[in-house]
Every structure is written in structure tokens, then in C-alpha cells.
Amino acid sequence: MKLLTLFMFGGVFYAGIEVLVREWTHISMFITGGICFVLIGLLKYTRRSVLEQMLMACAVITVLELICGLLVNVWWGMEVWDYSDQPWNFMGQICANASAIWLYLSFVGIYANELARRGMFKERVEPMRILP
């Protein structure tokens, strides 16, 4: 039940960002966001600093966005997003600009995950360490 709750929270957060930025979203973004949020929460158990967690979270989000993009946009032809006009893009599915944004937003995700685990599930979560 905990993972499902975190999945739902992450899906709403991710899709909400899409709606704020692009004024619409797609169910694939909800699913991708839910998976990302659950995986970001697991990074806490690596006992790494927040900066290291942010870098790992950025990589996780970027890889999942690539996988989702290849499925939804390339193979199923749904055209949910296209980064082809962005510099440093890969197949129009991911780009350096989006990854940089995910790096900064990953801090929010890490912190929100920690708050959710403390508040909703009464977990004893080790306080965030900024530096290694």
C-alpha cells in the first residue's frame, strides 16, 4: 500500500508539472512520474548525500523518460512530446535542457518523498545530508 501511495503521489506531481508547463499531460507521464517517485525514494537507502541522490535521481528520471518516449512516441506513434528542436537531444525523446531541469526538481522529489514517508507512514527517515 505504501508503494502504491507513493506511486500515486509521484504521478500526480509529475503530471502536475506537465500541466503547469505545457497546459496538458498524458497518462504515460503519470505512470512515469509514479515510477520515478518510488525509485527516488529508494535512493534514500543508499545513504548518499542529497547532491549524490539528486544526480542519481536525474539519471533515473532521464532514463525512464527515454524508455517512455521510445514506447509512447517512437513505437506507438502517439507524439506526446518531441525534443528534436532542442540542443543535445537523443532521438527527440530526451535532451540536456530537460535533464538539467530534472536535476533541480529532483531535490523537490527527494524532499517530498522524505516528508511523505515521515508524515503518512511514520517512517524514521535519516535527515538529509547536503554533502558527502
Give the pLDDT score at 45: 81
Contact 74, 94 (CB under 8 A): no
One-character DSSP codes across 42-75? HHGGGT--HHHHHHHHHHHHHHHHHHHHIIIIII
Average pLDDT over residues 2-29: 93
**pTM of the full structure:** 0.88
**Partners of 90 in the beta sheet?**
94
Domain chopping of the chain, boundaries: 35-119
Average pLDDT over residues 16-40: 94
130 burial via Cβ count (<10 Å: 0-12, 13-18, 19+) = exposed
57-84 pLDDT, tens digit per residue, is: 999 999 999 999 999 999 999 999 999 9
115-130 pLDDT, tens digit per residue, is: 888 888 887 766 666 6
